[in-house]
Structure 1
Amino acid sequence: MMSHLFPTYSRWEIEPASAKGTKITAVDGKEYLDFTSGIGVCNLGHCHPHIEQAVTEQLKKFWHVSNLFPQSMQEKAAKLLADAAGLDLVFFANSGAEANEAALKLARKATNRSKIISFNNSFHGRTFGSMAVTGQDKIKNGFGPMLETFIHLPFNQVEAFLKEIDQNTAAVVLEVVQGEGGINVATSEFLKVIEKACKDNGTLLIIDEIQTGIGRTGKPFAFQHFDIKPDIITAAKGLGSGLPIGAVVGTAELQDAFGPGSHGSTFGGNPIAIAAAVATMEMIFTEQLLTETTAMGQYLYDQLVTTISKIDGVLDIRGMGLILGIEISGNVPEVLSSLRTKGLILLPAGEKVIRLLPPLTITEAEVNQAIGILESTLTNITSAAL
């Protein structure tokens, strides 16, 4: 049968019929352990009852009225998000790409500069602004000239960065953990140098927390592991537990740059998505859940190091909290396909990395189940290749 969808996705062989917690049940009845969380979206697992209740209650009130109306739930969501980030002001969008696009506009307008520095192997979205700031050629191929004044530098290399930043630089944009680029973690030295250089040059520091935010690393946001303070962060993915929402969070000093008419969105801050976001943050931004996330992240990492790192062809285990990567020498798509046949769904990250993004509510038993499938699959594929 002909599909009427543009073939922009290489789709898997699994069609979901239902999902709950860490499990997806396909239309053929087969059950899968989902270690993707919808690409870092369902941080509380699929169909969490607290989120379902909040969304259902809002559905019975109204679905959409536009941002011409004051909405108390938007204010509540903004306060929860700003307080968790240690910042002041929020603009709600519909996605991570939109949030990054808005952040770039905000930085240029606030500084009256145009130069933007980002880093190789980064990923910030697929709109023209977010694509221009992304440090991967494969995302840009075929789309013609990119926007000007975007500079891409080696990640975690201090000297190259210090040579490039100057008083014409509007912003530096970075991920603390490069998700799509291969689960590459920034060093503390690198982040501290960037923070100081930004302050010295009047440059804004933008941290993309779209994949690492909303508790994924055991803190509300990944930058909080490093005692630095950005001027702007962007969030999306896990913010709405599957309802489409993104956000720009910034300091109070940026208020005048985003005044009436400077930016907007028809659907940004939609009441249904906001209800999901409030319920999600109420669940995740608690000491108990963040402590449990830290513990489960450490448990998963330890199991990977103890069991998986010893397999031939496994080159590295890295990441933070519950965003982890297994670098292998083999064919990642082949490994992921084999894992799915055994009931475990995982993602790629870059060319050679298997990415693990389980929900923050994952249990030790589910970790052990995943480790068993990974061990048998990687061992068998390695043996077959010898």
Structure 2
Amino acid sequence: MVYPNLDVSEMFVEREAQRSSMHTRHLNEQMVRVLKTIGYDVGFQKGTGQYLFDREGARYLDLLSGFGVFAIGRNHPVMRDAIKSVLDADLPNLVQMDVSTLAGILSEKLLENVPYMDKVFFANSGAETVEAAIKFARNATGRNEIIYCDHAYHGLTYGALSLTDDTNFRSGFGPLLQGCSVVPFNDLEALEKALSSKQVAAFIVEPIQGKGVNLPSDDFLSGALALCRKYGTLFIADEIQTGLGRTGKFLAIEHWNIEPDMILLAKALSGGHVPVGALLTRKSIFDKIFNRMDRSLVHGSTFGKNDLAMAAGIATLEIMKHEKLVENAAKRGAEIRLALQNMIPDFELLKEVRGKGLMLGVEFGPPKSLRLKASWNILESANKGLFCQLITVPLFKDQKILTQVSGHGSHTIKLLPPLTITEDDTKWIADSFRTVIADSHKVPGAIWSLGKTLVDNAVRKSA
């Protein structure tokens, strides 16, 4: 049988010029419109490590890393070899009426890094691990309620969305999962009030919130864990974005020396190639779900332990260990944070730089000078958080740095680069931010002309 040409890389080259038209016709037209409006439709052709290359061959520094997926950088050769080795081996993948050798190996390697945990459940994504955690918590405790924090983001499937505090994501999709209630982040008094009913199965929290890069107070996570123990509630640490070295520790919770009942991982574990999620928990919890032979399949995920995903996870952990990427995240993150913090006295629009490791938030806020205040207020009245686009767009177009505002209506730009960035990259970041922030303080100026364009677009959308 003669097959047509299935060289997918060749297909990419042949059809690249049609990417926008194909998406407009068959996929998300609004995303195409967004990219064209802000000038991001450059047609990326290649990705290597922390760098992207557009159709003109220009090199960009990626501070978004696919929402944290590419912690080891794009197209790492060791990762590619690991995946190829699985494809070349004709392994008996997903037999289902068998157990997976590679899943056993990846579980072993994960638990070596988190020795107080005993069991691993594999899924296909971070949102799937959140869904599993909800089910595990309710089954293990016999309780119904789940508590989460304001400004939280836990995913967009129905259970995960029910724990995501963002009306922009939730609007139009209700009613959501019953029994889910929100408490303020960093408010132990409110948390205790919620837990005191003894009806709460679990409290789920991001150790550092992705939306806004909000850090917990020194006593919040340890205090929350103590309250969970007091009232019989399980503590779930959502480390889907913060885990696997992102914050300069293998897990972000290590900064506060706590040991939760469940830990959720995904994103970076995939190596950027094969989606995978992992829920780590204690045997006492796991055994309440899978408590009899006839319940051995009571929860699962068809592709959850597929060999390609397991190989990607194994390779990711080995690359991180061999290249000391956790240590690099701590070092480079500290350098970037210090360089940006040192700019605060020079720029009235720059308010705070916060975070740990290579998860950083650069926050802007209202100026004091009358001329800047007038321009700021025009932007804010058109669309809250619009000012940050005056930073991210010139960072991209003029400085060749890809980054993103940390959430809808936010004044914080989030930096989430691959953990492979170098000293030269940190200088690139610092110099670029200084240039663009300095330009944002010039009124009138090119950046505020961009602001007028964005305001006009926002007004047209609302009309």
Residue of 201, 217, 225 corresponding to 1:170: 201
Matched-pair contact (CA < 8 Å) for 2:344–2:352? no
Q: What's the TM-score, normalizing by structure 1?
A: 0.95
Q: What's the TM-score, normalizing by structure 2?
A: 0.80
How far the C-alpha of 1:315 sits from its partner, in A, is 1.1
Change (3 A) 1:62 1:353: farther
Alpha-carbon distance in structure 2 between the residues aligned to 1:340 and 1:249: 38
Query: Which residue identity is paired with 1:252?
Result: K
How far the C-alpha of 1:287 sits from its partner, in A, is 9.2
Extract unaligned runs of 5+ from structure 2: 1-20, 291-295, 366-375, 377-386, 449-463
Matched-pair contact (CA < 8 Å) for 1:114–1:169? yes
Alpha-carbon distance in structure 2 between the residues aligned to 1:202 and 1:340: 48
After TM superposition, the structure 1 = structure 2 runs for residues 286-305 of structure 1, keeping only pairs within 5 Å, are 288-305=324-341
Residue of 244, 264, 271 corresponding to 1:214: 244
Alpha-carbon distance in structure 1 between the residues aligned to 2:322 and 2:252: 15
Structure 1 match to 2:305 = 269
How far the C-alpha of 1:83 sits from its partner, in A, is 2.3
The answer to whether the aligner puts 1:37 opposite 2:37 as a matched pair is no
How far the C-alpha of 1:28 sits from its partner, in A, is 2.6
Structure 1 match to 2:16 = none
After TM superposition, the structure 1 = structure 2 runs for residues 1-386 of structure 1, keeping only pairs within 5 Å, are 1=21, 2-7=24-29, 9=31, 10-11=34-35, 12-62=40-90, 64-86=93-115, 87-166=117-196, 167-179=198-210, 181-242=211-272, 243-259=274-290, 260-285=296-321, 288-307=324-343, 310-329=346-365, 331-342=387-398, 343-350=400-407, 351-384=410-443
Alpha-carbon distance in structure 1 between the residues aligned to 2:357 and 2:108: 25
Alpha-carbon distance in structure 1 between the residues aligned to 2:215 and 2:404: 18
Alpha-carbon distance in structure 2 between the residues aligned to 1:321 and 1:66: 40
- Aligned with 1:184: secondary structure? coil
Matched-pair contact (CA < 8 Å) for 2:332–2:422? yes
Identity fraction in percent? 34
How far the C-alpha of 1:85 sits from its partner, in A, is 2.4
Query: Which residue identity is paired with 2:150?
Result: N
Larger Rg: 2
Alpha-carbon distance in structure 1 between the residues aligned to 2:193 and 2:321: 38
Per-residue Cα deviation, 1:76-118 (whole angstroms, up to 9, x for no partner): 1111112212311111111111111111111011111011110
How far the C-alpha of 1:187 sits from its partner, in A, is 1.7
Change (3 A) 1:263 1:69: same
Alpha-carbon distance in structure 1 between the residues aligned to 2:28 and 2:52: 25
Change (3 A) 1:310 1:66: farther
- Aligned with 2:302: secondary structure? coil
Q: Which is bigger in relative contact order (C-alpha 8 A, separation at least 6)?
A: 1
Alpha-carbon distance in structure 1 between the residues aligned to 2:53 and 2:137: 44
Per-residue Cα deviation, 1:298-356 (whole angstroms, up to 9, x for no partner): 11111111236632211110111110010113611232121110200012112111010
Extract unaligned runs of 5+ from structure 1: none
Query: Which residue identity is paired with 1:173?
Result: I
Query: Which residue identity is paired with 1:68?
Result: M
Matched-pair contact (CA < 8 Å) for 2:262–2:280? yes
Change (3 A) 1:237 1:308: farther
Structure 1 match to 2:4 = none
Alpha-carbon distance in structure 2 between the residues aligned to 1:92 and 1:65: 13
- Which one has the bigger strand percentage? 1
How far the C-alpha of 1:232 sits from its partner, in A, is 0.2
Matched-pair contact (CA < 8 Å) for 2:344–2:351? no
Alpha-carbon distance in structure 1 between the residues aligned to 2:166 and 2:276: 25
Matched-pair contact (CA < 8 Å) for 2:228–2:234? yes
Matched-pair contact (CA < 8 Å) for 2:94–2:305? no
Matched-pair contact (CA < 8 Å) for 2:94–2:303? no
Change (3 A) 1:82 1:8: farther
Of 6-15 and 162-171, deviating more is 6-15
Query: Which residue identity is paired with 2:394?
Result: S
Change (3 A) 1:68 1:332: farther
Alpha-carbon distance in structure 2 between the residues aligned to 1:21 and 1:378: 27
Q: How many residues align?
A: 385
- Which one has the bigger helix percentage? 2
